[in-house]
Structure 1
Amino acid sequence: MKHFLAKAFNLEILQKSRLAWVDYLKGIAIILVVYRHALLGIERGGIVINASLENANMIFYSFRMPLFFVLSGIFIGGSLLKKQPGAVIQNKFNTLLYPYLVWTFIQITLQVVLSRFVNASRSWVDYTYILYQPRSLDQFWYLPALFNTTLVYVLLKTKLKTPHWLQLLLGLAFYFTARYVESISMISDWMKFYIFFAIGDAIARLFFTDSVQRVLQQKRSLLLFAPFFALAQWYYVSHTVGEALFLVIALTGCVFMFMIAFQLQRLQWMPFLRVLGFHSIYIYAMHVIVIGLLRVVLIRFAGIHQPLVLLTLCITGGVFIPVIIYNCLINRGPLWFLFSPRKPGAVKKDSRETTAPVLAS
């Protein structure tokens, strides 16, 4: 049993010399993503949800997606120092766009075939949305959004030598004009989040200085910043927030989550979050399918209708079952092609670039 658990959850990563705070950060965020989709699925099934659960979803929504664009931006400069721009883009295609194409096809197909049992109303037309309207495909919009953001940013940074200040100005311009092309979310999504990616790259050098790292690791910093985070989230939940203010609220949430991740790294608490963070892309791709099937089993066959019980079970299954499936059947297994265009072999599992997949609408 111990050997099975070690393999099923790839526990050896806990012994690797990785940046633990990155995995903690992604682990927290992927749970928040699964929380949102589990909650929406239960609600759309006709079960009344407590207002506090809805408010929690609103709070998490304000920062979890910007968080991953900031995180990806922090590491893009390091990636470009080690690899040519073409190699970086190729890596992003393999880790983001390829899984997007594969798993959107799988999920749409299952939703069409099992239409009697699922909440989503799908038809064969939905396959066309893969190319131009990922916002209509549940959680998947994030993958092409991050790929396109990276593509545009890398081209501007390496080919036109665009400085940080200009990238930030472009990011603001994209952010405030994205609403005009929302009918094509393949374009509007990357425009909305480009600014967060640019901020990540702009602060990267400062972020990794010893002084900033010490501040992030201090418990006092977390306690001092907590009231600002709470105030920002209260305002977001209780007021209609414009685009400019949302930017401030989102960045406040990002800073707070970074501080929490560094505290967890310092204390070495909740190592399961590191496991989930390492596997976040796989959880992200599979969790809607998993929680959809779980919800059907729990409601129709087990007769469970209590919202909190359903939510807890769906979140637990939604984060852990994809990890087990990946490590037992996909990672160096017969279903390797579900996440990689090339069969894994010589490339070490831990040599992948840091990406920030998780995070969904």
Structure 2
Amino acid sequence: MSAPVQTRLAWLDALRGVTIVLMVAGHVARGLWAAGRIDSPEYLLWDMALYAFHGPMLFVLGGFTFAYSTTTSPYLANWRARLRRLIHPYVVWTVIAAGLTLAMARVVNQPLGTSQFLRTVLGMVIWPYSIFWFLYVFAMCQIAAALLRERIGLGSGQLLAASVLGLGIGYVLRARFGPIEAFQVSMFLLYFFYFCWGNWLSTRTHGLTLPVLGITAIVSLLCWYAIIGHGWSIDTPFGAIAGLSMTTMFLAIFRMGESRAPRILMAPAVYIGLISLEVYVMHHMAAGITRIALDRMGLETLWVYGVVGLIAGVLGPVVMLLIFRRLGLAGVLGLAKSPSRPRPPSSAPSVALR
């Protein structure tokens, strides 16, 4: 099997950017649901579909990035620096988010008391707080893939097979004991499968063609028919297959559509994809503070909450990142210190959400 070509792929960055925006939309909507502002039963179907897509998609893209970034420089050869890229923002922003939640306990949906704040900070090694489980599990996926590939010598196909076995074990454990939250065992066994799928696809992007798009669209529809028709949750094998099909379908759409996409849409999507980690760690606070501000203003229109919250959740982190860079604080906060260089349309996948 040939090694991944070391050229950037702008369509991967754009897809990551679009996925991050959808993730922000999902978190904004869940915040409104928790606050009692959304009461439509149909929302739950939309929420289920969105979460079956954006989480798996980010890990699939992470598998792509891992494959490209370790072609010439094995992960374990520089594992401390690579791990620090995720652990640094994980620790810093866990403390910041928990601290803000403690300080704003009277107005947030899920307040923290002083003792809960201390448990959150001291227990982050075992129990990630809030949305930061993603960075925790992402780091676990990188370490596991590196050990299996670079120490044991598994190829991408064998690595994918191992992840399928882990996925099955995860479903058995969940059925027997429920979700295992300590060390995010259940989440790791699920999302490592998507990570390995992306790693496997990284050398097979030529196969993301129109027939694949059609097949994955049909499989996705069949899975959703089964899930909705039987009242199942996405935490079932059908949910995993739906996630696999939807992510592959969007990979095919973006790969085939890159040359046709208007630059006015492609450029911002690529930019958000390049700073996806920064948007991820800050969006929750930006959108949450915006919702609280709108509450204080007495606004009642749901769409205003949704639209303004989405804009704040995406652009807020962009503005804050620029400010932190200007103040020289980006590195201290675990964020990228300088803007990414402009790149031609067919560039190398970014190591955003490294």
TM-score category of the 2 structures, normalised to the smaller one = 0.7 to 0.9
AA of the residue aligned to 1:50:
S
1:229 to 199, 220, 223: 220
Residue-by-residue CA offset, 1:250-302 (whole Å, 9 max, x unaligned): 1111112213323552223313222222221111100111111100111112x
Match of 2:82 in 1: 92
Give the whole-Å Cα distance in 1 for the aligned partners of 2:157 and 2:9: 28
Comparing 286-295 and 305-314, the one that deviates more: 305-314
Comparing 258-267 and 145-154, the one that deviates more: 258-267
Q: Is the 8 A contact 2:278 2:321 kept in 1?
A: yes
| Matching of residues 264-303 of structure 1 within 5 Å | 264-269=257-262, 270-271=265-266, 272-301=268-297, 303=298
1:337 to 332, 337, 340: 332
Report the CA distance between 1:316 and its aligned residue. Answer: 1.1
**Compared with structure 1, are the counterparts of its residues 80 and 57 closer, same or farther at alpha carbon in structure 2 (3 Å cutoff)?**
same
2:311 to 309, 316, 326: 316
Alignment gaps of 5+ in structure 1: 1-16
Q: Is the 8 A contact 1:43 1:49 kept in 2?
A: yes
Match of 1:111 in 2: 101
**Compared with structure 1, are the counterparts of its residues 161 and 226 closer, same or farther at alpha carbon in structure 2 (3 Å cutoff)?**
closer
1:354 to 345, 350, 353: 350
Q: Is the 8 A contact 2:8 2:348 kept in 1?
A: no
Q: Does 1:132 align with 2:123?
A: no
**Compared with structure 1, are the counterparts of its residues 223 and 331 closer, same or farther at alpha carbon in structure 2 (3 Å cutoff)?**
farther
Report the CA distance between 1:318 and its aligned residue. Answer: 0.4
Give the whole-Å Cα distance in 2 for the aligned partners of 1:277 and 1:263: 18
AA of the residue aligned to 1:77:
A
Q: Is the 8 A contact 2:180 2:186 kept in 1?
A: yes
AA of the residue aligned to 2:142:
T
AA of the residue aligned to 1:107:
A
* Secondary structure of the corresponding residue to residue 130 of structure 1: coil
Give the whole-Å Cα distance in 1 for the aligned partners of 2:35 and 2:248: 35
Match of 1:188 in 2: 186
| Matching of residues 160-171 of structure 1 within 5 Å | 160-171=152-163
2:110 to 120, 124, 132: 120
AA of the residue aligned to 1:327:
L
Match of 1:240 in 2: 232
Report the CA distance between 1:245 and its aligned residue. Answer: 2.0
Q: Is the 8 A contact 2:60 2:195 kept in 1?
A: yes
Residue-by-residue CA offset, 1:68-119 (whole Å, 9 max, x unaligned): 2222222323322221333553353233221111101100001001101111
1:260 to 225, 250, 253: 253
Report the CA distance between 1:63 and its aligned residue. Answer: 2.1
| Matching of residues 71-82 of structure 1 within 5 Å | 71-82=61-72
**Compared with structure 1, are the counterparts of its residues 203 and 26 closer, same or farther at alpha carbon in structure 2 (3 Å cutoff)?**
closer
Residue-by-residue CA offset, 1:329-361 (whole Å, 9 max, x unaligned): 237733431125xx9489979899734639xxx
Give TM-score scaled by structure 2 length: 0.82
Q: Does 1:25 align with 2:23?
A: no
How many equivalent residue pairs?
A: 330
AA of the residue aligned to 1:283:
V
**Compared with structure 1, are the counterparts of its residues 54 and 306 closer, same or farther at alpha carbon in structure 2 (3 Å cutoff)?**
farther
Q: Percent identity?
A: 21
Match of 1:251 in 2: 244
Q: Is the 8 A contact 2:219 2:242 kept in 1?
A: no
Q: Is the 8 A contact 2:90 2:136 kept in 1?
A: yes
* Secondary structure of the corresponding residue to residue 275 of structure 1: helix
Give TM-score scaled by structure 1 length: 0.81
AA of the residue aligned to 1:298:
L
1:41 to 31, 35, 40: 31
* Secondary structure of the corresponding residue to residue 204 of structure 2: helix
Give the whole-Å Cα distance in 1 for the aligned partners of 2:213 and 2:348: 30
Match of 1:11 in 2: none
Alignment gaps of 5+ in structure 2: 1-6
